[in-house]
Homo-oligomer: A and B are copies of this chain.
């Protein structure tokens, strides 16, 4: 079943790499509900967790799975769930709860195609806006992306680190191609991997305020059962965690939930640049499509076309600065994606009319062929 060759190199599916990344990140709780094309994350952990005392549970549905990981996280466990479109929609209410109550946890969505049941086994990137806006009410959210098994591994670790640091749910988006492609993962020495754990209260229980106002806007939630008695609620609440109807406090809270992410955007955002320095055509691509884009860039360079690639590893908060910087240098931006332009609109917004932004969308379940991108670049040049 697993392929434990000794050594640092392993062949893994993106989904399996997520599971392995979670293990290394210190995740010890998984609750899920099967759904293609994410199920391997669960299956892998159902084998691994019992062996090391981690806790795996298959819940009755995705809503319950999301609730369970929030509950487990409040006991101090790093917690994970994995799903795909339909399940992601169902989890939205409780994802909002995690935002509101500021409970760290990681949600992996391996994106498949179509609205509704759609194309369960075919790739897409159609949930990138949903990842930002899927739950009701204003909130901030961190959404990561991965384009290979290696990145699936690393980004899962980063997702847990960001969740613990900022006390927030973090979403990791894969597309079916990334989730199901088996490839090399180089596993670093554990000592070289940075692991972040949530803050513990410094004060005594009697002085403790779970949602104390701090400069960094990050609350400190003590694990349940450690003597810090407090209340957690999805209602608007004050510093003690109790519901309030005081408009000032409510206003501050909702502001803070958004600000918490925005003010730390520089710490959170990560992009990868390929040949962007002298590029005349900038490509913005993420997930499996960024691999097609990289191929395309290389092909273009061979043809003497100065193309470059900006790959956001964090989709939300959106890397506005980086896009604007690119927009101010290139002559045009191309945004290939497996949807009808969901991120292209963000690129347009961020590039502040500095250059034309061209969409290259594909929604038929096929990946984007590098040659399509090359063709569009040629057309634009």
Q: A residues within 8 Å of B by Cβ?
A: 63, 85-86, 88-90, 92-93, 96-97, 99-101, 111, 113-120, 122, 124, 126-127, 129-130, 132-139, 233-236, 245, 247-248, 250-255, 257-258, 339-340, 342, 345, 348-349, 352-353, 362-366
Residue contact A235 to B119, C-beta cutoff 8 Å:
yes
Q: Closest B-chain residue to A362, C-beta based?
A: B251
Residue contact B135 to A89, C-beta cutoff 8 Å:
yes
List of B residues within 8 angstroms of A248 by Cβ? 364
How far, in whole Å, are A252 and B342 apart by their CA atoms in the complex? 18
Since A114-B253, A250-B364 are in contact, a sample of 5 more A-B pairs with Cβ atoms closer than 8 Å, ordered by chain A residue number, is: A111-B136, A116-B234, A116-B235, A129-B133, A255-B340
List of B residues within 8 angstroms of A339 by Cβ? 138
The copy count of this chain in the complex is 2
Residue contact B116 to A101, C-beta cutoff 8 Å:
yes
Task: Tell me whether A100 and B129 are in contact in the complex, defined as CB-CB below 8 angstroms, given that A134-B92, A349-B345 are known contacts.
Answer: no
List of B residues within 8 angstroms of A96 by Cβ? 86, 89, 115-116
How far, in whole Å, are A119 and B248 apart by their CA atoms in the complex? 13
List of B residues within 8 angstroms of A120 by Cβ? 235
How far, in whole Å, are A132 and B133 apart by their CA atoms in the complex? 9
Residue contact A89 to B93, C-beta cutoff 8 Å:
yes
Residue contact A115 to B134, C-beta cutoff 8 Å:
no
List of B residues within 8 angstroms of A101 by Cβ? 116
Residue contact A254 to B113, C-beta cutoff 8 Å:
yes
Residue contact A90 to B93, C-beta cutoff 8 Å:
yes
23 A/B residue pairs, CB under 8 Å, sorted by A? A63-B90, A89-B93, A89-B96, A92-B134, A97-B115, A100-B114, A114-B235, A115-B137, A115-B139, A119-B236, A119-B250, A122-B245, A122-B247, A124-B137, A124-B138, A130-B136, A138-B363, A236-B365, A247-B364, A250-B365, A251-B362, A254-B363, A255-B363
Residue contact B247 to A88, C-beta cutoff 8 Å:
no
